[in-house]
Amino acid sequence: MDLLARIQDRMLPFSKLLGIRFVSATHDRVVAELTVREDLCTRHSTVHGGCLMAFADTLGATGTVVNLPEDGRTTTIESKTNFIAAAPVGVTLVGEATPVHRGKRTQVWQTRITTGDGKLIAVVTQTQLVLS
């Protein structure tokens, strides 16, 4: 089973609930999409910040997982989000996570969330604890 198929097979229920669709995954980059639905929005029909954070957290954690040994695990220990712009209902968001640091005990990933036409929505930097 290839890496992308393995990731999709192991998706957590919460990721499925959000509607995250993985597009590609390598040891150096994870890309996924999420379409903004009304139930993921604030009262003003724009995506909720918590949804953006959860989307990015899923990508950063996935990036860490693909860099771990088969029996390795991870958990998020820190996350920082910069919200840049709003994303309305119907927009498909693209998240791209890349590593900043991959150490024995921690990994740091940065996820850029954009619209399909490249408009920057948020930037998330997270630290993942590597568990053995």
CATH architecture of 3-131: Roll (3.10)
Q: Which residue has the tokens 């990036």?
A: 63
| pLDDT band with cut points at 50, 70 and 90 for residue 69 | confident
What is the pLDDT averaged over residues 78-85? 98
* Closest among 132, 129, 122, 127 to 55, alpha carbons compared: 122
The predicted pLDDT at position 17 comes to 93
Checking if the pLDDT of 1 tops 80, the result is no
Residue linked to tokens 């693209």: 94
The mean pLDDT value of the chain amounts to: 94
Tell me the whole-structure pTM to 2 decimals: 0.94
Domain ranges of the chain: 3-131
The proportion of the chain whose per-residue pLDDT surpasses 90, expressed as a percent, equals 83
Task: Name which of 51, 29, 20 is nearest 100 in CA terms.
Answer: 29
Q: Mean pLDDT over residues 17-42, rounded? A: 96
pLDDT for 101 beyond 90: yes
Query: If you write DSSP's letter for every residue of 63-131 in order, what string do you get?
Result: HHHTTS-TT-EEEEEEEEEEE----BTTPEEEEEEEEEEE-SSEEEEEEEEEETT--EEEEEEEEEEEE
Distances in whole angstroms, Cα of residue 23 to Cα of each of 33, 119, 129 = 7, 19, 25
- Averaged over 74-98, what is the pLDDT? 98
State yes or no: pLDDT of 42 exceeds 70: yes
> Does position 12 have pLDDT exceeding 80, yes or no?
no
